[in-house]
Amino acid sequence: MAYDLLITGGMVVDGSGFSRYRADVAVKNGVIVEIGRVRGAAARTIDADGLVVAPGIIDLHTHYDAQPFWDRLCTSSVWHGVTTSLMGNCGLTLAPLRPEHREAMLATFCCVEDLPVRSLSAVLPWTWQTFDEYLKAIDIGLGMNLMPLVGHNPLRLSAMDKAAWDRPATPDEIAVMQRLLRESIEAGAWGWSTTDSPTHAGPHGEPVPTRLADDEERIALGRTLGELNRGVIEILPKGAGAPTDADHAHLTDVARASGRPVFFLTFDAAPRPRVEAATREGVQLYALLRAIPFNPRFTLKKTTFFSNLDVWDVVMAKSLDERLAAFTDPAKRAELREWADQRQRRRPGVPGRFIKWASIVVKKTAMAKNRALEGQALTELAAAQGKHVADAMLDLALEEGLDTEFELQSRPPAEDVALAEFVRTGHAIPSQSDAGAHLNTNFCTAGESSWVLAEWVRERQLLTLEDAIRRYTFQPARIVGLRDRGLIAVGMAADLMVFDPATIGVKEDEISRDGPSGTPRRVQRAIGVHQVVVGGEVVMDAGEHTGALPGRVLRAGRAHEVSAR
């Protein structure tokens, strides 16, 4: 057989940003070997007539660190055509770590990323201490390729022990961190990650260790990458929603000292002028935006929306009759009010652990007489009625037999224009899916690329198809130094996705019961993704897993001999 796989008649959008063209793509031994009008037999042929053939998506912000131990396929990402993801973000990784720090690190990871700590701890084998041992432990045949970063938190714990939770590091401790970082990079880490975000706290509200670091510590770790001339840096700044001048100066300092690409997370286009200024100076600074909004809708009839809010979760789990009784019981009402407020005070800013009442609007009323309330924020409604916000919501819902539809709005759609413009400058990448995290919460944004292809490309024409694909393939590959992926070209690894541009999109989130140890988790499925190919093997076919697990842990600085399999 001339080829292992032949994809015929598709529209090739090759990742370079240049124009699409119709061509066949032939694969042999995991590598793209011919493009154009290909003759010759293949073990498997995919008819891509009317479909787009693109490089697999490279997702720059995921938290799949523990997922291989309970889901080797790495869903939800692989459903959307993600074939490689950068993991170990936000300073939260499970290596290098001595046994005495495992429990605290896992608890912190689970708390920040909303993962079920008990069921995860039951499936983690903890067979590693060094970064190299960890990479071996997760390289067990996966649905996609993983590119691990090493987290600043385990480096701190290893170098400082308990003091990591209390204070900045001494020069000696920084030197230990630099040595551990060097070892991890030499083992194949793609860089390091850190967080300074006030929302990142451990199970008792304590700041994660990296938040105790001073600027000099991060600059020193940046210098280590500079010496190795390898790796990227991911920083969640103090003001993740709106990076301050001080944040920006620090990001630029780290980028300057290291000479390496620095990614920082943001949710809007405000940092654009400062990023452009830094770039003009030759500093490699990139904003990772979250393009996909998380706007969950819910009624009080059946929702997981309050499952993270104590007392509310118990009431919401009751039968409908019991729930109605609880909502009308004045004593229970007082408790619900109290918990709504108390949780916010106690755990300020931990995503998913409180309810952002001001962002919840009445989406759709069941009764005609309440129509005027549609579009109103619950806080406005409460103010107008002189009630507590919880009462305003519950009274309306009770009047309508719990059929009122509410929506949590993370962003008004008009803001997308500025976000897409920022992306078009090349300094921002819409890649903040957070896949692998937030299994417990009421949103999932793992399908970010599918959402962008649907909303920004097809529906609103804010990006061209070629440009959007480039942002998810060649651009991230080039920045992180992944040389054999991110383009459809002869000699590149055959990581591909075949999709229908007319239908691609995300389905409404679902709860599936296949989380760690069978716990429930939130997933987001794709629409319009026909095939996902990793290393030349079809992993997803018409939404179904073929059983293939060809994904590997990619180690930086090694040739990824794509035909090695």
- How buried is 79 (Cβ within 10 angstroms: 0-12 exposed, 13-18 middle, 19+ buried)? buried
* Amino acid (one-letter) located at 321: D
d(CA 541, CA 524): 17
Asked whether the beta carbons of 454 and 506 are under 8 A apart, the reply is: yes
From residue 7, give the alpha-carbon distance in Å to each of 81, 123, 529, 547. Answer: 16, 38, 14, 20
Shortest Å distance, C-beta 89 to Zn ion: 4
Contacts of 395 (CB under 8 A, 6+ apart): 385, 387
Contacts of 376 (CB under 8 A, 6+ apart): 361, 362
CA Rg value for the chain = 24
How distant is the alpha carbon of residue 429 from its chain centre?
A: 13
Shortest Å distance, C-beta 195 to Zn ion: 8
Q: Which residues face 521 on adjacent strands?
A: 512
Shortest Å distance, C-beta 90 to Zn ion: 4
Taking the least distance from each CB to Zn ion, the nearer of 78 and 90 is: 90
Taking the least distance from each CB to Zn ion, the nearer of 90 and 469 is: 90
Taking the least distance from each CB to Zn ion, the nearer of 90 and 462 is: 90
d(CA 565, CA 561): 8
Taking the least distance from each CB to Zn ion, the nearer of 92 and 382 is: 92
Interaction of residue 381 with Zn ion, rule CB under 5 A:
no
Q: Which two tokens stand for residue 346?
A: 């106690």
Sign for the CA dihedral angle at 211, 215, 219, 221 comes to: negative
Shortest Å distance, C-beta 500 to Zn ion: 30
Q: Which two tokens stand for residue 412?
A: 């008004």
Q: Which residues face 265 on adjacent strands?
A: 288
Taking the least distance from each CB to Zn ion, the nearer of 76 and 299 is: 76
Taking the least distance from each CB to Zn ion, the nearer of 90 and 181 is: 90
d(CA 524, CA 509): 5
d(CA 478, CA 466): 16
Taking the least distance from each CB to Zn ion, the nearer of 89 and 210 is: 89
Burial 146-182 (b: 16+ CB within 10 A, else e): bbbbbbbbbbbbbbbeebbbeeebeeebbebbbebbe
Taking the least distance from each CB to Zn ion, the nearer of 93 and 473 is: 93
Taking the least distance from each CB to Zn ion, the nearer of 197 and 404 is: 197
Contacts of 107 (CB under 8 A, 6+ apart): 117, 202, 203
Number of residues that bind Zn ion (CB under 5 A): 2
N- to C-terminal Cα separation, the chain: 18
d(CA 436, CA 448): 13
Taking the least distance from each CB to Zn ion, the nearer of 35 and 235 is: 235
Shortest Å distance, C-beta 452 to Zn ion: 18
Contacts of 431 (CB under 8 A, 6+ apart): 59, 60, 61, 288, 289, 448, 449, 471, 472, 476
Taking the least distance from each CB to Zn ion, the nearer of 90 and 539 is: 90
Element (H, E) at 470: helix 465-472
Shortest Å distance, C-beta 434 to Zn ion: 5
Which residue's beta carbon is nearest to the bound Zn ion? 90
Shortest Å distance, C-beta 95 to Zn ion: 17
Shortest Å distance, C-beta 76 to Zn ion: 15
Binding mask 77-116 for Zn ion (x = CB under 5 A): ------------xx--------------------------
Taking the least distance from each CB to Zn ion, the nearer of 89 and 473 is: 89
Is there a cis peptide before residue 76, judged by omega within 30 degrees of 0? yes
Shortest Å distance, C-beta 290 to Zn ion: 10
Shortest Å distance, C-beta 86 to Zn ion: 11
d(CA 502, CA 447): 16
Shortest Å distance, C-beta 265 to Zn ion: 7
Contacts of 385 (CB under 8 A, 6+ apart): 392, 395
Shortest Å distance, C-beta 250 to Zn ion: 18
Taking the least distance from each CB to Zn ion, the nearer of 90 and 360 is: 90
How distant is the alpha carbon of residue 409 from its chain centre?
A: 19
Shortest Å distance, C-beta 282 to Zn ion: 28
Enumerate binding residues for Zn ion (CB under 5 A).
89-90
